[in-house]
Structure 1
Amino acid sequence: MSAQLRLVVFDCDGTLIDSQHMIVAAMNHAFDAHGLENLPREKVLSIVGLSLDEAIEALVPHVDLPLRRKLTESYKGAFFELRSRKDLAEPLFPGVRETLDTLSKRDDVLLGIATGKSQKGLRHALESHRLRDYFVTLQTADDAPSKPHPEMLRRAMRETGIDPADTVLVGDTTFDMQMARAARAHALGVDWGYHEPHLLTQSGARAVLDDFGGLAPALDEIWTRVAEIPTGGA
């Protein structure tokens, strides 16, 4: 009898990859290019997880649409140009590769990503860290509405044929938790990203991890509880 397949979908920035320095630097460059005052670092990081258009609108809602579009293009250009700077490196968070190795060897687990990045940006990040082969589904802001809309997660479930009850979203922002809840999937937060742990819990996280070593046990706990629910149960 084949194993019951489960799906684990990861956010990227703030969950797998520590991209905060690059994001802040690129945003500052974009604002400088258009004569706008730089925003506090915490404010910029608060929008990580949204698609770029949604993030710019959230940061400067008072700015008109033509200028927001220019800021978006300037950010993209700055992000590309700044990739070569060593002081803006985007390292993996501790335990990422080991965790993905462990999960990918399980015959009952498939892995995916749902991120506010573009497909181009995501693929560059994954290839830079040699992570691409771990994931069977890649969902980005190119393919669906921005988080917290559930469509990215729904697409991942459709592509893999896995039900919400067997799907867990792992992320560092309230947008991730809200997306999972809207898709009727489970959510686990991580405390090394860009939103405070208590906000993740308030937004629907079943638990908030303090290191990747706790992920596999947390997943098994969720799926054990799901398996114990009688058919037709709530």
Structure 2
Amino acid sequence: MVKHILFDFDGTLVDSRALLVKLYNEIAGQHQFRKIREQDLALLRTLSIAERVDRLGVPALQIPKLVIAGRQLYQENIRTLHVVPGMKEVIARLSSHGLKSSILSSNSEANIRLFLKNNKMEGSFKEVISAKLLFGKHHAIRKVMKQWGTTPARMIYVGDELRDIEACKKLGVPIVAVTWGYDAPRLLLRGQPDYVVNTPGELLRTLLTLA
């Protein structure tokens, strides 16, 4: 029986894809990387992060520095972002059923908390946890389980990327993959998530059946 729900942030709770493409293109222009064009988006959604980086010609050693720069630009633009339609209601319904929701994201805690404040959602989540490494979510999830004194069977992760699925698989944590985020459904299916949902309403029904 699930008692704790960990939500990814970008793409899952917040509709930030257009902003992140814009910010990437700003940084790409400064560093002479290949920019993302509108016609590239559908293909890029079917590729893993490593495959996207390779296709865009971004040197792997540059990624940590680019992530830091991107987070700063993100904060400067955060007031332009909105909650994915229907997700605010999902969080409220889960809380009314006694389920504890938290956020675990590779975005910064400061950015997430500012977004929650702007959208009047400060009290909606038990915790906001930042996974410092782009591919280190399994370390953060393991740490959360230890702090909460819980087991994989008592929690579930909700995310929109293949790397979310891969992190959960390493720990045996069930995951619901949402199709409205960054990664295309066929890429999500490559990771064999436990559940796949196409709408917030479907997500709510799935989580409540597991509670």
Query: What range is the shorter-chain TM-score in?
Result: 0.7 to 0.9
Relative CO higher for 1 or 2, CA cutoff 8 Å, sep ≥ 6?
2
- Superposed CA deviations along residues 71-130 of structure 1, whole A, max 9, x for unmatched, are 44543443344446xxxx2111121111111111223x2111111101222212222222
How many aligned residue pairs are there? Answer: 208
Within 5 Å, give how 1:81-230 maps onto structure 2: 81-83=76-78, 89-107=80-98, 109-142=99-132, 145-147=133-135, 149-222=137-210
Q: C-alpha distance in 1, partners of 2:84/2:95?
A: 18
- Superposed CA deviations along residues 9-42 of structure 1, whole A, max 9, x for unmatched, are 1111111100011111111111112333313453
Q: C-alpha distance in 1, partners of 2:134/2:66?
A: 18
Q: Which runs of 5+ in 1 are unaligned?
A: 224-234
Q: C-alpha distance in 2, partners of 1:148/1:71?
A: 17
- Superposed CA deviations along residues 205-229 of structure 1, whole A, max 9, x for unmatched, are 1221111112233124445xxxxxx
- The answer (yes or no) to whether the contact 1:6–1:162 under 8 Å persists in 2 is no
- Which of 29, 33, 48 in structure 1 is aligned with 2:30? 33
1:75 matched residue in structure 2: 70
Q: Does the C-alpha gap of structure 1 residues 113 and 147 become closer, same or farther in structure 2, counting only changes over 3 Å?
A: farther
| One-letter amino acid of the counterpart of residue 79, structure 1 | Y
Structure with the higher helix share, 1 or 2: 2
Q: Does the C-alpha gap of structure 1 residues 72 and 179 become closer, same or farther in structure 2, counting only changes over 3 Å?
A: closer
TM-score, normalised relative to structure 2 = 0.82
Q: C-alpha distance in 2, partners of 1:106/1:55?
A: 40
Q: Which runs of 5+ in 2 are unaligned?
A: none
1:14 matched residue in structure 2: 11
Q: C-alpha distance in 2, partners of 1:63/1:45?
A: 20
Residue range with higher mean Cα deviation, 148-157 or 165-174: 148-157
Q: C-alpha distance in 1, partners of 2:147/2:110?
A: 20
- The answer (yes or no) to whether the contact 2:2–2:156 under 8 Å persists in 1 is no
- The answer (yes or no) to whether the contact 2:101–2:125 under 8 Å persists in 1 is yes
2:21 matched residue in structure 1: 24
Q: Secondary structure at the match of 2:182?
A: coil
- Superposed CA deviations along residues 43-62 of structure 1, whole A, max 9, x for unmatched, are 776789x8xxx999667666
RMSD between aligned residues: 3.0
Q: C-alpha distance in 1, partners of 2:74/2:47?
A: 16
1:228 matched residue in structure 2: none
TM-score, normalised relative to structure 1 = 0.75
Residue range with higher mean Cα deviation, 166-175 or 38-47: 38-47
- Superposed CA deviations along residues 164-206 of structure 1, whole A, max 9, x for unmatched, are 1011111111111111111211111111111122322331312
Within 5 Å, give how 1:36-75 maps onto structure 2: 36-40=33-37, 42=41, 63=59, 65=61, 68=63, 71-75=66-70
Residue range with higher mean Cα deviation, 195-204 or 145-154: 145-154
